[in-house]
A and B are shown apart, each in its own frame.
Chain A
Amino acid sequence: MKILVCISNVPDTTTKITFTDNNTQFNTQGVQYILNPYDEIALARAVELAENEQGTVTVLHVGDANADATLRKALAIGASDAVRINAQPTDAYFVASQIAAYAQDKGFDMILTGRESIDYNGTKVAAMLGEMLDIPSVSITKKITIEGNTGILEREIEGGKEVLAIPFPFVAGTAEGVADWKIPNMRGIMSARTKPLLVVEPIEVQGLSKIVKFESPASRTSVQLIDASEVGKLIDLLQSQGFLKN
């Protein structure tokens, strides 16, 4: 079984988000980058599945050499090899086009992404990839098991879940629950140094959207504290704002 895991390199979850150039560019000064948390669980599940089924796990990133440390971490967690498509992403369409062009003729049985990247929060790449490769996609997947050449996936739906059977190949975006986070062990870290990291040049793609400006969300006016002995006051406040209908 051949699995591809798409990896994004994102600001650490505690990063203070600021902008430069008249609020048109994200300020990367002093920002610590990490493997996107959702991609980390996609990778953890891919490694588990590959171990069970004698498969391989390739990790792929679209971006510049700054992400090589993150790719090495993915190798330490258990990926067999890494690929970096050497381009600065402009939008999800651009990223998915690059991944699709690479994956097209490689015979992957399963392509995993995270459900979203925690920087641009799109939940877009998985379904775009599915469409570009003309294969099924599940954008928010809670569980993946394999039965022969079929993936059994649980998809989150409003008010419940759906169990799907999808023949290889398919794309799945993984959410919490597909696997536990894996911490690389010493052997993994040592072997990661010698595993292949291939750099591929991008194909020509015109993005279809771009971010022209950023803005900080409106800050809340300071909190109105209500005394613990006057709980009814809170209820009155909420009622006056129309929250407590009969």
Chain B
Amino acid sequence: MSVLVYIENTEGKFKKSGFEVLSYAKTIANQLNTNLIALSIGNVADDDLKSLGNYGADKVLTVNHQNLKSFVNQAYSAIIAQAAKNSDASVVVLSNSFTGKGLAPRIAVKLQAGLADGAISLPDMADGKFIVKNNVFSSKAIAFVEITSAIKVLALMPNAYKVVETGGQATVENFDYQANESDFKTIIKEIVKASDKVSLPDAEIVVSAGRGLKGPENWGMIEELAALLGAAVACSKPVSDAHWRPHEEHVGQTGITVSPNLYIAIGISGAIQHIAGVSSSKIIVVINSDANAPFFKVADYGIVGDAFELVPQLIAAVKALKS
């Protein structure tokens, strides 16, 4: 028996969400009194692979091949499922990232395994059961999902588990997989990078703005504040509908769900559909000129005032602190 964890890389580098899933999977391996095997696909330097030992991996499997340089979800899920079978894994852990969302359901079907997506807790294994919590109804409720199959697949929500360094060592092995030609039907034509901005789904801090900002020309101060805080930029739906900002920044019930440690909402009223995508943020700060804006009801800190005065002051205060 073992626990298998898949660690994504971006252009050969592991990300914080990868260390989160490792730490989470390590705790599960400890609960089950078994080994933790990490799997990496793509071109990652040997030292980086070895470094996974420091987050709890006992063994690292690596698969590196020319046609796997970019993500192809059919091929990747086939490899992960093969590695799971090969290591006799009873639990398979991934990140609930865009990539993980494409992989986990396919792996679950291959392994005839129940899937808990967006997991926000460790499994509760009392009474021989296996129960994991996740957010449902757009974060208006939490579900206790019992997985009843022999193998379990868990996709961990970003920012839901703390990274723990164990100081351990891992051995690195190549993993031989059986390629299937039909797994390579999807051709990647182009990858368009949205510059070097902080990516929204796994950002630790998000600075978000709404229609209160009046127009796209006023986003300079939002971007400046975000850059100072190392934060990603987000917006409300009407803002992206009006093409003031791109669709991929829209958070809420019909946009991206985020759960950062800090969410700063500026000039956003706090409609229920907006809150749905941000309510699992650890700390919420609201800046709004209307003291009755509904957003204040779910905020931890609030300032009633004009964004056009307050945001420049915030920027100045952060700058002063940093210098």
> Which residues of A pack against B, CB within 8 Å?
11, 13-15, 17, 19, 26, 37-38, 91-93, 96, 118-128, 130-132, 134-140, 142, 152, 155-167, 170, 175-177, 207-217, 220-221, 223-228, 231-232, 234-235, 237-239, 241, 243-246
Contact = CB atoms under 8 A, between A and B. Distances in A.
Contact of A128 (B106, B135, B286, B297): B106
Interface in B272-323: 272-273, 276, 279-280, 283-286, 296-306, 309-310, 313-314, 317-318, 321-322
Contact of A176 (B73, B188, B254): B254
A111 B215 CA distance: 38
B141 to A, nearest CB: 5
B145 interface: yes
B109 interface: yes
A164 B190 CA distance: 7
Contact of B317 (A38, A142, A235): A235
A225 B144 contact: no
The 4 lowest CB-CB distance pairs between A and B, nearest first, are A228-B305, A208-B114, A209-B114, A127-B105
B77 A131 contact: yes
Given A130-B106, A158-B202, A243-B261, A226 B138 contact: no
Contacts of A157: 71, 98-99, 191
B146 interface: yes
Contacts of A237: 301
Contacts of A124: 104-105, 115, 117
B31 interface: no
Nearest to B237: A176
Interface of B: 10, 70-71, 73-74, 77, 97-99, 101-106, 108-110, 112-118, 131, 133, 135-149, 182, 185-194, 196-197, 199, 201-202, 205, 229-230, 240, 247-248, 250, 253-255, 257, 261-262, 272-273, 276, 279-280, 283-286, 296-306, 309-310, 313-314, 317-318, 321-322
Nearest to B110: A131
A139 B110 contact: no
Given A14-B273, A237-B301, A238-B285, 17 more contacts: A14-B272, A91-B114, A120-B143, A121-B138, A158-B97, A159-B197, A161-B194, A166-B187, A207-B148, A208-B112, A209-B114, A210-B148, A223-B301, A225-B304, A231-B310, A244-B321, A245-B230
Nearest to A216: B141
Nearest to B102: A139
Contacts of A152: 189
Contact of B276 (A13, A162, A170, A209): A13
A226 B285 CA distance: 10
Contact of A159 (B101, B144, B199, B257): B199
28 contacts: A13-B272, A121-B257, A123-B101, A124-B105, A128-B109, A130-B74, A131-B106, A138-B73, A138-B186, A159-B199, A161-B191, A162-B188, A176-B240, A208-B147, A211-B145, A212-B131, A220-B298, A223-B300, A223-B301, A225-B296, A225-B302, A225-B303, A227-B303, A231-B314, A235-B321, A237-B301, A243-B205, A244-B229
